[in-house]
Structure 1
């Protein structure tokens, strides 16, 4: 057997993220990294240097192999884009057995049956928001009027939170999602985190006294179940659902709408065949970068050869989902948005034990909103597309507003 080819590390790590330009184009540096033998050494704004993993099969390996630990990478030296230091009390940051114990509880709230029950509510929410949009008339910012509101309403319904608090949810999410060069200080981030956790602890207390049919009730009732949760577990899990469920889905909707509004040939496909929306959503999930770079490194627990590089125990690796989704060895003509793509095993919702529990909920919202939006407003178009503002200083990548008319 031929020994694996071990590529030497570059003398200096590359600055990462590779760019912070407006738009949704992926930096060519990812394609160059996939083409070269070995991994790419990079330096993020915070923490130490790390190995960037860009090829599809290598990314899947990191996400599913127990020789890599997510929890072990946590701490002030964790390579990260965010100024916020991740805590070991959310599903995204845990390894088994703690991850297994918590995921088992939360999975009940995201069961197929519960998601099917939520879909009519999602359709009702979408219809109401689009009714409001029609009454308002254009031009209007559909990002603010619809895409920001819908995921918030859905998550509030799921979690049992009060939608009247939505402005606070958005403010906390923006502050904790801030990156280097944003207007927020480390103290702002710490305070926002503390305020959100205090809010969720109070919500948990209300659900103990007045249970409902929502996720927070499921969590607090699990405090005395077969696999009891602590108060910190309850708050940490709700924290993950609220922030990921609102900010990420809002951004997915905005990016998908932007793609459709700037690619009329794809919009015509959806209008001609509304049933094709499911496949279109999957392709946009694959094609679209939702963050400015990769967010969740792992640490190697043993020496391991990965993609032509020997990663030593204790070194971290950073799997890039957006790069894996453009791997030409898996996706033919990977840089083309193709709604007729038959095989689409994308990693937009990650892979392995950290595959997103809310993926079906996010899909349902995207499918419903995009179908309803373009059916209801066949003449929908961007106003002054060249002046579109793009988000800056946050991890989520996409437009900050979408001014439309019809």
Structure 2
């Protein structure tokens, strides 16, 4: 909550500085606004430099840790979690292309005023691009799993610890200043208020879609186990509200495990599936990312509504990249921003909007993720029982 308050403060300060320059001009206000934009350029370079490391170390470490269950249980859990994430993303896309143009009036915000430039260019080229990091992460993770190489496993685990420390202590702390610079630049062109007007409704749509997808997940799980899906959802509500408070899937695992077992899932299935899905199953986060992406592309100039195959490729990559989502507030959007830039052509302003929007509902996305884990566990339990009888 402190971070959300700081982000809101950053947005308000940035809008104030940019609006003063837009309204009154003058050397002082121009200097102040350009100072904010320069800060955005510096901090943005640092943020985007770290994204390949997030993908590399978190995915490699995550794959290397996928042990503890039989091969069929591991494979089926990965498959169900991935399909759930893809399904959630497609649901969000089809709803977004129908709803978002009506919310925004089907018009992009026109460009006005004069775009401010930073005092100097500050560019830190990433060590590798997003897809290179993704392929390398899978290669390293799979090799570690097969060969059980302790030295390499320690390297990726240590890299994950270091990267997570940088995210938590550096990136998260500079986000409010970075977003302040982005909003100062937008306010200086006179477009920011038209852009912000629609996003409260966008977030409400995303949260409603979370519950639609949770209902779909538990309907499938209930059919598989022969249980009432709404009773199963009711049993999982304590986990949902715990995740709302903690904003962390990992921190909610003890509550999730208890509620999953109360739904009749066998202990050995729950004990393996729930901790694994807390790291790889982020269907709620994917709904928010896709919904907000469509809204951003509808509102901001120079973007057009993505076609089905364009967004399908993005969703398929997001399902993989979500494995790399760090377990800190906003971790999912940090991991996903590289995909949005590579596949949908998002610039820094669009990514900044995504970060601000995502952080505003992060606790709801996390709650949807963790509640859905119970449905995945139920489906795996039903599958494993069926396989044993065959």
- Fold shared by both chains (TM-score > 0.5): no
Q: Which has the higher strand share?
A: 1
